[in-house]
Amino acid sequence: MLPTITFTTTPTDHPTDLLAAAQAAQADAGGPGDAAGAAGAAGAEPLAWLRRGDGFVGLGEAARFETSGPRRFGAAEDWWRAVLARATINGPADHPGMGPLALGAFAFSPASAEPSVLVVPRTLIARHRGREWITTADAAGCEAAPAPVPTDQGRGRPRPRPAGDAAPPQAMTESPGPVAAADWPAVVRRGIGLIEAGGLDKVVLARSVVAHAAAGRIDPQAVLAFLAGHYRDTWTFAVDGLIGATPELLIRSSRGLVTSRVLAGTIRRRGSDQANLARAAALARSSKDLEEHEFAVASVVAALAPLVEELAVPDIPSVLHLPNVMHLATDVVGELKRTPGGRLPGALSLVAALHPSAAVCGTPAAEAARVIGQLEGRDRGRYSGPVGWIDANGAGEWGIALRCAQLSPDRREARLWAGGGIVAASDPAAELAETEAKLAPMRQALGLGEPPGPA
């Protein structure tokens, strides 16, 4: 049954840390005042999409939609349009993300047992390019308590730490996934063999590990705050137990422009700044990494070409510096075509066209997906699927769910994933090292590794 929702947006002028404001709003509304308590309360975990202090933090659920299968993106977009058609919208909606908004996370594979989800938060606390606002969503017939809203009054409660000063992670242990680290080079060799046999140019293979809370539950708010504070140049996200900090933007769509940041080709940071500059230069010259990157860029360009008037694609990639790794990066920008009816394609239509890109699947995509299912040993779920948001105008940002973990329903375990692109020239030992480097952000956030140094 479709909900009937009243959305009310109120601009604010009180600069604040979004995560701290969200936790304070929960406390002021009479909910759990501490992060550990919030993790155990139904509906108390925040939804989030953050980068460099801007973005959204959502509290509660006014509505949610779950879907699966090949039409999961189209079904979600149809549901969102139907919700908007029944909605009452009060207040301004003249800025991307202002007004009605849903956050979502989608499974990598249409055959996944993990559902894809769109969630409409009951309260959305937002900031973008100096503008701040709060949007509440009141669903008709909802028996839940009033949506928590940040106020200037603390009611005597201590305020939480800002994201950059997150408390130390709790004690955790780790166990291997279906393929142990020692066995990963053999899996990579099988992938290389299939490429050399013909019919496959590139395949992205991923492995997982499982983190276990030594006592109690994993604290999602602390994990989110750690990632937002230490990996500010990534898009930090939390949707339905999927938490991470992705450096890769599948699409940004706003006011007729579409942008995609393609990452493929990786080298680990080690040693001094001077040493890392030399490693970055080596990455930019690596024939193996450049080949891997070219496949990823070509897949994005091919997917976007029918949807745009023109595309701007740099001739050579740049090097993106992160605290744990460096990537070859290309930002593809295009002007969207209007449909015969005069409409611009919505963000989820663009996601459907682009996913899965060669950056997370391979080339050709269908054969790479088959090999992934054959070699990885486990359903990826939402790992490497699209995660992000869409607003009432169809604008949105959708990243690829990388450097992430899916929390178990009881929040006592987290499954972490990391992968890499395999081409004929790949080295199995280097591919194992790459997955270890990519597991670092979530291990650190969960207390399984040392915090990163500066990028």
Choose the weakest-confidence range: 12-26, 60-74, 200-214: 12-26
pLDDT for 336 equals 96
- Radius of gyration over alpha carbons of the chain, in Å? 21
Model confidence pLDDT, tens digit, residues 63-97: 999 999 999 999 999 999 999 999 999 999 888 88
CA dist., res. 148 & res. 22, Å (int)? 8
Catalytic residues: 202, 248
Model confidence pLDDT, tens digit, residues 214-240: 888 999 999 999 999 999 999 999 999
Instruction: Show Cβ contacts of residue 4 under 8 Å, excluding neighbours closer than 6 positions.
Output: 86, 87, 139, 140, 141
pLDDT for 153 equals 39
Rounded mean pLDDT, 410-414 = 95
pLDDT for 360 equals 97
Q: What is the mean pLDDT of the chain?
A: 89
Model confidence pLDDT, tens digit, residues 36-59: 333 333 356 889 999 998 999 999
pLDDT classification of 13: cutoffs 50, 70, 90: confident
Residues of the chain with CATH 3.60.120.10: 172-445
Percentage of residues in the chain having pLDDT higher than 90: 78
Is the pLDDT confidence value at 33 over 60? Answer: no
Instruction: Show Cβ contacts of residue 251 under 8 Å, excluding neighbours closer than 6 positions.
Output: 258, 259, 260, 347, 350, 351, 354, 396, 397, 398
Model confidence pLDDT, tens digit, residues 131-172: 899 999 999 865 554 455 665 533 333 333 444 444 445 678
Is the pLDDT confidence value at 112 over 60? Answer: yes
pLDDT for 17 equals 79
Class of domain 172-445: alpha beta
Q: Which residue has the higher pLDDT, 150 or 425?
A: 425
pLDDT for 41 equals 39
CB-neighbour burial class of residue 125 (10 A; exposed 0-12, middle 13-18, buried 19+): buried
Nearest to 400, CA basis, from 370, 371, 427, 438: 438
Q: Characterize the bridge pairing of strands 54-59 and 404-407.
A: unpaired
Whether 280 and 267 have beta carbons less than 8 Å apart is answered as yes
